[in-house]
Amino acid sequence: MTDNTMAAGAAPAATSSVSSSVSAAAANNTTFAVILSLSFCHLLNDMMQSLVPALYPILKDSHALSFSQVGFITLAFQCTASMLQPVVGFYTDKKPQPYSLMVGMGFTLIGLLLMSRAASYSSILVAAALIGMGSSIFHPEASRVARMAAGGRYGLAQSLFQVGGNMGSAAGPLLAAFIVIPAGQHSLVWFSGAALIAMTVLFQVGGWYARRRAATHKRAARGGAAAAGTRAPGLSRGRVIAAVAVLVALLFSKNVYSASLGSYFTFYLIAKFGIDVQTAQLYLFAFLVGIVAGTIAGGMFGDRVGRIPVMWFSIVGALPFALMLPHANLFWTGVLAVTVAIIMASAFSAILVYAQDLLPGRVGLVAGMFFGFSFGLGGLGAAALGQIADVAGIETVYRLTPFLLLLGLLTAFLPRHLGGAPKPAR
């Protein structure tokens, strides 16, 4: 009798436990699907954007452009893709816009169509700016949704999101080598389908985002939850500002060096080794694949060993290989470029998550600064590097830029207690 009573009493508890486990599993599957959807759209977004620098050899020849003019195309693209992102992020921190992800992709679509028909240098600049504007809207909100769906594994979520963009960037030169270069500038119109697919997926993600925000607000209203702080507890405002400045400097050094490879690597290989454009694009593709591998590894290790050790390894570890690159033959130039890419890319998610921990409640602003503003500084650097290449030659660029990585030593000034190994996710 007693055993039966206990069994009867245990049954509802067991049923409740099973139901809770099923609900948790369903929620985990849903959020993982959201992160993968964002990563997929990031892939399509950055694939379309990467067609712009991959198109540079064609544009340079067909429009008789100088290296400086090529650099200013990068600057036009980066100014809208990057400089606007902190503004967008600051606004959406206060007023999140779930469906802005789809709208941003619409700007990319329009810019891509215009670039496919651009007949003058000014129209090229406008098209590049429109494509960049789509990026400035996409990245801050997409980063916010990825963190919302992370379940505490912020480094992994950000690296999965970022790796989609890296894969898209890597695909650009490959598509350029086998489609755009043989078929010409007008073939860009074929990629408009990718933008339409991304807009469809992002409409679904926007719906999930809107429902999740509504549910969170209801829970907060019932529980009287306090508003999130605006800086890491225990740190003064000045210390937080100084730490953010260090992080921006770290990304500046990485992004200017990456811009030197992303914008001018094909020209460097053609000028130094006499290879054709398609072969040079394959070397650029290998470099960008290295960025994909480094991003995944950095996100995984950052969650386990902490953010600061990954930053030290990434920024300073790439320096010796970057210094050797200008003195290597063709084979070792490819090997060294991929090695530098893997090491440098490993820090991105660590830097972004560290910054989000410094400024809780400012996810959009942080994403705007680190996806945007720092990349914009990289664009300014690319324009400056084009001027140097015109005056002193393209090889001089690759002898000078590695010394920018010495800015990685500023990592020593970051608050240490935010860099410890995080607690395992429950």
What pLDDT, in 10s, does the model give residues 110-126? 998 998 888 889 999 99
* Amino acid at residue number 3: D
Whole domain around residue 56: which residue ranges? 34-217+231-418
What is the rounded average pLDDT for all residues in the chain?
Answer: 79
Sequence-ordered list of residues with C-beta below 8 angstroms from that of 76, at least 6 positions apart, any chain: 125, 126, 128, 129, 132
User: In the 3-class helix/strand/coil scheme, how is 328-363 assigned residue by residue?
Assistant: CCHHHHHHHHHHHHHHHHCCHHHHHHHHHHHCCCCH
347 in a domain, yes or no? yes
User: Residue with structure tokens 């807009």?
Assistant: 199
Is residue 203 domain-resident?
yes
* Residue 384 maps to a domain: yes
- Do the domain assignments include residue 278? yes
DSSP string, 267-332: HHHHHHH---HHHHHHHHHHHHHHHHHHHHHHHHHHHHH-HHHHHHHHHHHTHHHHHHGGGS-HHH
Q: Is 156 helix (H, G, I), strand (E, B) or coil?
A: helix
For residue 356, the domain's CATH number is 1.20.1250.20
Within a domain: 320: yes
**pLDDT tens digits, 134-185:** 988 888 888 888 888 877 777 778 888 888 887 887 777 778 778 887 887 7
Judge whether 146 lies within some domain. Answer: yes
**Confidence band, pLDDT 50/70/90 cuts, at residue 6:** very low
Instruction: Domain count for the chain, please give it.
Output: 1
Q: What is the pLDDT of residue 99?
A: 87
Is residue 6 situated within a structural domain?
no
User: Is position 112 within any domain?
Assistant: yes
